[in-house]
Structure 1
Amino acid sequence: MRKSWPYAVVMMLVLLGVPRVLHHFIPDPRQVQMMFPVVLLVLLVPAALYFLPRYRRSKKLTDEGLQLLSEGRVAAALERFEAARPLAKVQVVPTYNIGITQLQLWRLPTAGRELSSLESRKDLTPQFRAVLSTALALVDALEGRLARVESRLAEAKSQVDFPLGLAPLASAVVACREGRWAEARALLGDASLENLTGPLRGLRNALEAWCVEQLTGERRPVDAIALFGEASQDSLQAAWPEFVDHVVKHAAAPLSLSAVTPEEASVGR
């Protein structure tokens, strides 16, 4: 994500500055030429020994977080991503991962802040900016800021020529909020949504069941545990009470402590 020119500038300053410093203390040019590689090595080795293990640790934590996220262990994934961010060479990807994970815990204001913090960066590729805009569009849709959604999605789609997985989901949320049930159901059938996992897949399935009932009267059970995962239903209730009420009424199994965070579960003990 980051351009390479800052590193080139630093290296140029080192290459130009070190000889000048050596000339100041060592008048003989031949001795300066002999000392220059030694001084450069002395400067670079400690830096490498400090930064490289941090970068490797950050990547390891990120990989673990992605694996946990694919398994639906969202809270554990968030811990890994938060630990990876201060160690990362560039904090763009860890911040995005944190935002997406907060989204799947339905902490929408926090997710929006994390993702929005990346918008002003100048070093994002068009592809990454499109993915970011799509994620923000979903947050806006869930929080009811419908006017922003289509503009974000239009901007995202103009930058890439590949399907954006969250785009149909964001548009479907808008359609459901506006009562366009047939359109919403068609959007939820988009092939790109088949790759969703965890709470986002739970959201897609719950919305589809809602659409079917509105269109045909068929009452379908909703897997509320898949939707809420490790989050409290209250976190989504504040943003979209009608949807959460529908989920609770149609839950295939009563919500239990498995659908809340460990901290929330311990409060009532």
Structure 2
Amino acid sequence: MNKTKQKYTLITGSSQGLGKAFAEICARKGQNLILISLPNENNGKLAKELEKKYKIEAIQYEANLTTKEDLYKVVDFVKNYRINMLINNAGIGGANKFEDVSLSYLNEIVLLNIISLVSLTHQLLPVLRKEEEAFILNISSLAAFAPMPFKTVYPASKAFVYSFSRGLKSELENSNIHVAVAHPGPMPTNENVAKRVKALTGMVKYSVLTAEETAEICLEKLFQKKAVIIPGKFNWFNSLLLRFVPVPLQLKILSGKLKPEATKPQAND
């Protein structure tokens, strides 16, 4: 039974970067929030700040979505609320040599980028169906459009998000729920990612948007009921290159760019 008559937007990975930007914009629009993040990421502080600034209700919930126990707890908790928008933003990635990383790290990418997204979406569909109009926004990446050496599992996981979102949108075509998938390009979402973004050169450098700019575009296109969202003209052009340049050439170019970048994994939430 719902605890409240108010409607909420649920955002995963909301403590920093793109997720935090989504939270700020949605609060500014007067939307109540359920903010999901890892423990000890100051999500409670963000919730209080948004409540005070925009006079909305922001509920903080800490969970590690890569664990089955926490994922089930999140589902049980949020089912008590009226939710009319789900933003599956939480994700993790990085540039590493496949054989040099641990199996637990690879599993984390799959569990967070794929399993938690599918599980939350599946379990919340009955909740979303109760609303007159509802939205699901799944955050993929430009990386979804090309296989990438030294990233391997990350772009594959984001390609899954793209395919899953398009298929689900078709299933729900005549329902009250609109599904969209967004493919952001490079953006400085945290200190480590910011350093890598700053080192970008060529056309890719001009495709960089802030998390706030990206979130604004994504929400604008979502409410216009676009199915695929690629924020920024340069990112749109880059997506065409990734999709139509022959794969062997893609791999050669990307290998040269990503091999020097191979470093510790970085979260992109």
Same fold, judged at TM 0.5 (above): no
TM-score with structure 2 setting the length:
0.33
TM-score with structure 1 setting the length:
0.33
Greater helix percent: which structure?
Answer: 1
Greater strand percent: which structure?
Answer: 2
